[in-house]
Structure 1
Amino acid sequence: MKRGPARLVGLATLCAVLAGCGIRTTSVPVEAGAAPSRVPCELSAEDASSPAAPGIALQVYLICGAQLVPVDRAVRTPEEKPVSGRVRVAQTLLDELRQEPSDEEKQAGFTTDVREPLAVSGARKGDPRGALRLSSRPEDLPTYALAQIVCTYADSAASGPDRSVVLGGPSDDPVRAYRCTAALKSRPESVPALGEILPSR
């Protein structure tokens, strides 16, 4: 029975030490929340090591984790002929961007915002050389879709010598130059609705 007061003194001392260290006891459970989900944004090693699909190898930019990430595609063409010509390359890439991502791409977190049917044609009289005209005005497209198109074209034969992408719509509005920068890839929503206006020839 004589140990009671000593034990109480010891507990009081321990509580004082813990309080001095900033540690507080609580009976309320702390909810930390679920761990943030993460997507790989790349195809698995198994998919990467599988035999390449027949066709012409092309690269498109898809959306993953709110960023633009390049993805390799194999495009079937008659007799596997090379895709040549600026307009043909541009249309082929546009069609690929509209394709629903494959199961492997979906599992890796890839999506596309290019959904509406789009056609592309070459420069009109007065347009700068190498200009491309879309069936919809570039500024009317969803921001992510325009960013996908710009970066996909910039890394292909559809771009200009300086890798700029000159786009216009179906009207007689002047064409504009767009560039695929590192900032645009990391923040596709930042693509300017209107690119740099180019003078008519």
Structure 2
Amino acid sequence: MIRRATAPALLCVLAALAMLSGCGIRATSVPVDAGAAPSRVGCVLPNDHKGPDGGDTASVIRVYLVCGSRVSPVEREVRMPGGRSSAERLPVARKLLDELKQQPRAVEDTAGFETAVPRELTINSGTDDDPDEALRLSEPLDELPPYALAQIVCTYADTSAADAEGGVVLGGPPETDSGKKPQVRRYECGPALRTHPQSAESAGTHL
């Protein structure tokens, strides 16, 4: 009697195991709802963001900020010295540097943008024996964060702070502890600098 009752039960157990091995154990390609996926920074301002339109007293400028491992442009509406067509190199360079030193605006911050430009950084004209297009920063170029240098170069590149070919000529402070004036370097904002800002350390050409 016991043997007769056990055999059908054993068959049922084996059949159940076969069904499990055939349809319940393998990984499935059907998505499983495990909650919301983590958000990813896109380095792109939202579509509903109202871009600047440039009023009569303001200019729409392009400022390069750090996002992820690159520097990328955002547009801002800024009152520029001398107006939107100003050819005054130093006032334009100073205004753009002020923009770079500011903390990103709320919508920029949400999209993942930030700045590496030090708050205390200033800029002045070159010395008498520098090229006409030269600008000198208050920090030695080699001591600036490379991302900050890339931001400055790319922001200046298509403005009157650049030379006629869009190059940016920069140097550090003209006076150093050694008494030797550092050379200025010419930079270009190409794809390599935008996508690999750390290359700014060695990107400039000595003049």
TM-score (normalised: structure 2): 0.74
C-alpha spacing 1:100/1:195, structure 2 compared with 1 (3 Å): same
2:111 maps to 108
Question: Does the 8 Å CA contact 1:123/1:132 hold for their aligned counterparts?
Answer: yes
1:135 and 1:144 map into 2 onto residues whose CA distance is: 17
Gaps of 5+ in 1: 25-31
Give the number of aligned pairs.
189
Written as runs of structure 1 = structure 2, the 5 A alignment for 1:171-186 is 171=174, 172-186=181-195
Identical counterparts, % of pairs: 40
Alignment partner of 1:190 is 2:199: yes
SS class of match (2:48): helix
Deviation at 1:148, TM superposition (A): 0.6
2:59 to 47, 56, 61: 56
Alignment partner of 1:38 is 2:47: no
Moved more, 8-17 or 183-192: 8-17
SS class of match (2:76): strand
1:84 and 1:115 map into 2 onto residues whose CA distance is: 26
C-alpha spacing 1:73/1:173, structure 2 compared with 1 (3 Å): same
Deviation at 1:124, TM superposition (A): 2.0
SS class of match (1:47): coil
Question: Does the 8 Å CA contact 2:116/2:148 hold for their aligned counterparts?
Answer: yes
C-alpha spacing 1:38/1:116, structure 2 compared with 1 (3 Å): same
TM-score (normalised: structure 1): 0.76
C-alpha spacing 1:51/1:197, structure 2 compared with 1 (3 Å): closer
Gaps of 5+ in 2: 28-33, 175-180
